[in-house]
Amino acid sequence: MEKKGWYSCQILFSFFLILVGLYVIFNSVRYSMPLIKAGDATYVDAPGFSPVVCGGLLIILSLYVAYGSWKRGGTLRYFFSAEMFAALKSKEALTFYKVFTLMFLYGFVLLPSLPYWLSTILFMLAFMITFKYFTWKAVAVSVLTSFTLYYVFGTLFSVALP
């Protein structure tokens, strides 16, 4: 991919991150407002204050990246070119699609419906099968990692896991 194409991708990804930042800010304010109205929290100690700050920083930094990429020759016209459509079918793009799909299934299908330790083991095994790295040693590492994380965070640190 040429540099202009790279800068164009940075612009598009920056717009995506701006939307994520806005989503984080909106939901943080939405969840904090009932506590603030009830007098149980102020704007500074409300549970949504840190995500609002992080969302704001994400928006500011994404605007900075988009502006810098635009100054270096990035443009949104690149996304309608033949080179872009070829890039969407490349081996790297297919790897991205696989990883995104596995993460989506882990976060929105496995975690809500299965215990944390089981969903994590299944996610790691699916990852290994997808990328053809399925060995019994890898299975043992997956199981050991999942139970170690469950013990450390759930028992030692008393963090409520899904």
pLDDT (tens digit per residue) in 71-94: 988 888 777 778 777 777 888 888
Angle, helices 116-130 vs 136-151, to 10°: value is: 150
Alpha helices in 3-115 (DSSP H): 3-38, 49-71, 82-88, 91-105, 111-113
Q: How far apart are CA 36 and CA 28, in angstroms?
A: 12
The amino acid sitting at 108 is: F
Share of residues in the chain with pLDDT > 70 (%): 97
Examine the domain organization and report whether 51 and 80 are in the same domain: yes
Same domain? For 68 and 129 the reply is no
CA distance 22 to 47: 17
Residue 79 and residue 63 in one domain: yes
Tokens of 55: 């969302």
Structure tokens at 136: 């019994």
Residues 120, 97 share a domain:
yes
Are 54 and 100 contained in the same domain?
no
Domain count, the chain: 2
Reply yes or no on whether the pLDDT at 4 is more than 80. Answer: no
Same domain, 80 and 6: yes
Contact 62, 18 (CB under 8 A): yes
- The whole domain housing 60 covers 1-89
Nearest to 50 by CA among 17, 20, 23, 24: 24
CA dist 129 → 15, 94, 126, 141, 152 (Å) = 33, 15, 5, 14, 27
Higher pLDDT, 49 or 105: 105
